[in-house]
């Protein structure tokens, strides 16, 4: 007798299938928001970073993850030899965070 009462309690009521679809739709919407706001931009930044690391050449100025700024003297597969002024250091290519671009010199408006 008690088993039949429990069975009726577990049976889906009216609109049970509609509730399932709305739950699925909500989860799909949340995933789409996460993808477009978090995952996709991160993939784009990683792709740009990889392209920048592959394009490093001798003579480029670089800034490392440790905050050191120098000029590339020699390149290898995974390592770079960077001149810091009086010292040359060997760093991992992946330790380079950016390549500063030279800002155009201000134009002097003649008097």
Domain ranges, ordered by start, for the chain: 18-55, 57-98
pLDDT surpasses 80 at 95: yes
Give the per-residue pLDDT at 22: 87
For 38, phi then psi, to 5°, come to -120, -55
Give the per-residue pLDDT at 47: 96
The pTM of the whole model exceeds 0.95: no
CATH of domain 57-98: 2.30.30.100
Give the per-residue pLDDT at 10: 59
Residue range 29-33: average pLDDT?
A: 94
Whole-number Å distance between alpha carbons of 49 and 55: 10
Which of the two residues, 101 and 100, has the higher pLDDT score?
Answer: 100
Find the range with the poorest average confidence among 13-22, 25-34, 42-51. 13-22
């Amino acid at each position: 007798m008690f088993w039949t009462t429990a069975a009726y309690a577990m049976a889906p009521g009216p609109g049970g299938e509609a509730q399932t679809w709305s739950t699925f739709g909500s989860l799909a919407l949340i995933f789409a928001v996460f993808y477009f706001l978090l995952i996709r931009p991160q993939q784009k930044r990683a792709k740009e970073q990889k392209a920048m690391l592959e394009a490093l050449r001798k003579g480029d100025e670089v800034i490392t993850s440790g905050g050191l700024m120098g000029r590339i003297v020699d390149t290898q597969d995974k390592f770079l030899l960077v001149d810091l002024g009086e010292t040359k250091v060997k760093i991992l290519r992946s330790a380079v965070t950016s390549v500063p671009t030279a800002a155009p010199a201000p134009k002097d408006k003649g008097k």
